[in-house]
Every structure is written in C-alpha cells, then in structure tokens.
Chains A and B, each alone.
Chain A
Amino acid sequence: MPGNRISRSLRFWQVALFVALLVVWHVATSPTLLPPIYFDNPHKAAFFFGEPLKVLERIWIWFSTGYIYSHLWVTLLETLMAFVIGTVLGLGMGLWLALSPTASALFDPYIKGFNSMPRVILAPIFGVWFGLGMASKVALGVTLVFFIVFFNVYQGVREVSHTVLANARILGASNRQLMRHVYVPSAMSWVFASLHNSVGLAFVGAVVGEYLGSSEGVGYIILQAEGTFDINSVFAGIVVLTAFALLLDWIVTLAERRLLVWQPRGGETEKI
C-alpha cells in the first residue's frame, strides 16, 4: 500500500494544515474574536461563510438523529444505479460500434454531438419525463457515465494487440470466445482506468439532479438550506458529500486492485 510509505511527518503536516484552515475559518467568522474588518456588521462574515463549529454541530445532529441516513441512501442509490446502467450501456454500445464499422460510421455524428452537448442541461427534460423522483437523477447520471465508458471501451477494443488476437484465433477461439476472452478483458482494463471518473460523474449526476428539483437526497437538503439562507447547513451538506465522494473513490481503488491484478503496476519489481 502506497499509503504506508507516506512518512509520518508528512501526515502530521497534512493534518496541521487542515487544523490551521479550520482555525482561520473559525477566527475569521466568529462575531466576537476579531473586530469587523471588511463587514460593517460582526455577524455578516458568519452569515456568508458559516462557522466551522456550527457546521460540525449540524453534521453531528444529522447523524445522531438519523435525519441524514435516508437522504444519503437515496443519493448513493442513485449514484450506484447511474453507474451500473451507464457502464453496461457504454460497454454494450462500445463493443458493438468498435466491432461493426457500418454501425460506427452511422452513429458517429450522433455520438460526437451528444458528447459535446453540456448534458447537465438535460436535467429539466428528465425531470419532466421521469418525474422528480430518483429516476430522473439516475437518467442524468447515466448520460454522464455512458460516454466515458463508451469511449474507453471503443478505444480498448480498437487497441487490442493484433498478435494476441491472431494467437487466440489460431488457438481455436470462435468469434464469441474472442469477444469474451479477448475483446471484453481488453476493454475492461480501459473501463477500470476510467472508473474513478465514471463513479465521480455518477455522483455529480445524482447531486445536480437533486439540486435542480427533488424531494429527497443530500442535494435536496442543500437546496432547502440555501432557500432559508442556512449557510451552515449548506456547508455541512458539502462536507458530507465530499466525505462520501472520497469513500466512493476509495472503494473504487480497492475494486481496481482486485480486478486488475494482471496489470503491471509502477515500481513493481516482482520478477524471478
């Protein structure tokens, strides 16, 4: 694990920097600690930037009362569904188009068009089509995840080594076996390479979707708090989202390690 190699003093300074930022934040926004420099009213800084202790307190209340769990669950479920559906669709389309030049030529302009479109703008349409529930958020996440996976699979299939392919054919692989034993594993290594991106974007799709109109989810909490100028809750929501984004990223890293054992890693010197 590379984490073990980070020296202790580096860890110390990372934590120290974090604490220092919190202290600066606290001192600068507290109505009593500093005389007002910029704002005429000592409470204005806290109004705009929140107060770290109150943010922490809010997070504590959310978790201790259990208020946040159902919202988090909804957001994570949307992320997961967007990720899975987007990946499956991207994998299928990518394999199909990469192996069929006709289909690839036919769909090429559409793929390019949809990819260059700012797809967040589809959120209102999805809201109309799929309602304000989870489905519209999943749909938005899918459009974001799909293209990443699609392009990676397309590339992965195109870059399969000709020698490996010829070798598998000579060893007797049928077309279907080539697909399963050569194209898909090769494409999957590209998909995994983009896993961090696609999980991240599935999360973005879910949160942005919620933020634009919903009745549950962490994005909805932030939207509500913003509506009542409750800046501490907005910050608390952001902190919770960030923590879960990091958690997802960590899970992806673990999955990657397990699934891509066959790939050489930098610095690995295990040879005989």
Chain B
Amino acid sequence: MSAAIPALALQDITVTFVSPDGGRYTAIRDTTLRVAPGEFVSVVGPTGCGKSTLLNVAVGLLQPSTGRTQVFGAPLDGLNRKAGYLFQTEALMPWRTALANVTAGLEFRGIEEGQAKKQGEAWLQRVGLGGFGERYPHQLSGGMRKRVALAQTLILDPEIILMDEPFSALDIQTRQLMENELLELWSANRKSVIFITHDLEEAISLSDRVVVLSAGPESHPIGEFQIDLPRPRDVAEIRLTPRFVELHSLIWGAMREEVLKSYARQQNK
C-alpha cells in the first residue's frame, strides 16, 4: 500500500461487549485495517465474525474497547462525518417518499429545497428510478429500496463508503445488476469503500483487495489478497475468467477452515 495517509485506518481495534448479567463477549480482537483513498476493500468472513461490528466502529456508531480510528489522519471523534453507510436491513424512513429519502441528508445540511430536489431527481435517475420519486418505500420492491438507499448515501458524496452486506437480501439477478451499477457509480468518482459480505465471489468481483476475517468470537484478519483483475469489470462475466477462479480457490483455501469452525460452533449451540 502507498505511504500516503489512508482514508480510513482502524488500528488495533478490540471490541468487547458486556451484557447486563456480566457476561463478556469479544467480537473483534487486535484488528488493523487500512483503506487507501479510492480503494475498494471487501471484508469477508463466516457468519457471526464481527464484520458489522467493525463497520460500526468505522462509522463511529460504536466505541472500540481499545484501539484507534483515524480518518484521513485525524482521530475519529463521534460520528464519522466523511463516511456514508449502507445498511444491511431497511434504513429508509418509511414516512418519506423515495425522493424525500434521497434528499434527507441534503435537507439535514440545510441545503435549499429546490436545489436538493433537483439533485435528488438526478440521483434517482442515476440509480434507475427516474419517475419513482413520489412512491413510498413500501410501494417499491426490495431492489428498488436498495437503490434509493444507495442514492441517499451517495448524494452526500462521502469520501468513504461503508457497506454492510447491502445486497444480501436480494435475489441473485437483481444482486448482480446492483453490483454492476455500484461498480459503475464507484468508478465514475472513486472513493474509498469497505464492503462487508459473506459472499466470496461478490467480494472478489467488486474489490481491489479482499480481507478475510477469522470465525468469531475474537475475530481478526487472517489473510489479505490483492485482486489484480482488470477494470472495468462485469461481475457476472468476470467470474468465468481463469484468474478469478485462481483467486477464488486461493482465498477459499484460507477461509474454509474458518467457515467450518463457525459452522461447528453454531451446531454445538
């Protein structure tokens, strides 16, 4: 990685949760993760390995027990104002129309209504929802709601985009469409991305770098892989290239043991 200041640096992060009855659970231990400006990094790992916890630390929703978070060299205090966050579950305000959801961030920043609307319409257009601005979230399909959420985050032009399994609830076709759209939007205006997923194929086809986390509790990175596939990519087609298959078996080799561990642990519960 270059010597330049990383867009986001998580340094020796440990997160221990204490339950009201005194039980302790360490989700993440001694994890260091750096993302360069404009870099697309995926974090993969078996279920329950603290991937979302890591992201919540990065956005400032969660204080780590130990460790430091730096955003463009400055220590993070409170919420990460340079970051946008795409949630795994429904995060749209159901009482706002698609357009009003997209422009919410602009409204919170006090941007004049007419201009916010114009920008919002343009973003809806860009995510393929032109003309759907007056619909409420419940009147949209799951894929459309994700597009609205994507526009809602990207309209604020965040320097760092954090995504927590954003497409996991979508069917495979919609998912590949959304992945291609995401790549297109990202390459037009490269920002730093941390993309959390449990789907290795998704991680490889999108990223510049894939970080593999061990099974929880006490997750930590156990491998890091540069993805040297050429861009622009088509997520469906790139899966058929020899280099993809090679990378896949390489990373899967590192992951398999952890996945089995996590599976065994869940079986024993």
Chain A residues with CB under 8 Å of chain B are 161, 163-164, 166-174, 177, 181-182, 185-186, 189, 261-264, 270-272
Contact = CB atoms under 8 A, between A and B. Distances in A.
Nearest to B144: A272
B60 to A, nearest CB: 8
Given A262-B95, A263-B138, A271-B141, A170 B108 contact: no
Interface in B139-157: 139-141, 144, 152-153, 156
Nearest to B162: A170
For B81, B87, B93, B153, the residue with the greatest tally of chain A CB atoms inside 10 Å of its CB is: B93
Given A170-B84, A170-B85, A262 B108 contact: no
Interface in B76-129: 79-81, 83-85, 87, 89-97, 104-105, 107-109
Contacts of B109: 172
Contacts of A263: 94, 138
Contact of A170 (B83, B93, B140, B144): B83
A170 B79 contact: yes
Nearest to B149: A167
B91 A163 contact: yes
A173 to B, nearest CB: 5
A171 B156 contact: yes
A171 B138 contact: no
Contacts of B85: 166-167, 170
Interface of B: 59, 61, 79-81, 83-85, 87, 89-97, 104-105, 107-109, 132, 136-141, 144, 152-153, 156
Given A171-B104, A271-B140, 8 more contacts: A163-B89, A163-B91, A170-B84, A171-B108, A171-B153, A172-B109, A181-B108, A272-B132
Per DSSP, chain B at the interface is loop
A204 to B, nearest CB: 30
B93 A168 contact: yes
B108 A172 contact: yes
Q: Which 10 A-B pairs have the closest CB atoms?
A: A167-B91, A171-B105, A264-B138, A172-B108, A185-B95, A262-B136, A262-B95, A163-B91, A173-B108, A170-B85
Contact of B141 (A168, A189, A262, A272): A272
A164 B139 contact: no
A261 B94 CA distance: 10
B107 to A, nearest CB: 8
A272 B140 contact: yes
B155 to A, nearest CB: 9
Given A172-B108, A181-B104, A271-B139, A163 B87 contact: yes
Contacts of B84: 170
Contacts of A171: 104-105, 108, 152-153, 156
A262 B93 CA distance: 10
Nearest to A165: B91
A174 B83 CA distance: 16
Nearest to A185: B95
Contacts of A186: 95
B20 to A, nearest CB: 15
A69 B181 CA distance: 65
Contacts of A166: 61, 85, 87, 91
B140 A182 contact: no
Nearest to A169: B79
Contacts of B80: 170
Q: Which of A167, A177, A272 has the most CB of B within 10 A?
A: A167
B104 A168 contact: yes
Contacts of A270: 139
18 contacts: A164-B92, A166-B61, A166-B91, A167-B92, A169-B79, A172-B105, A173-B104, A174-B108, A181-B104, A181-B107, A181-B108, A182-B93, A185-B95, A189-B95, A264-B138, A272-B139, A272-B141, A272-B144
Contact of A161 (B61, B90, B140): B90
A167 B84 CA distance: 9
A167 B136 CA distance: 17
Given A172-B108, A185-B93, A167 B87 contact: yes
B14 to A, nearest CB: 22
A46 B122 CA distance: 74
Nearest to B86: A167
A163 B93 contact: no
Nearest to B138: A264
Contacts of A181: 93, 104, 107-108
Nearest to A173: B108
Contacts of B138: 262-264
A180 to B, nearest CB: 10
Nearest to A270: B139
Contacts of B94: 164, 262-263
Nearest to A189: B95
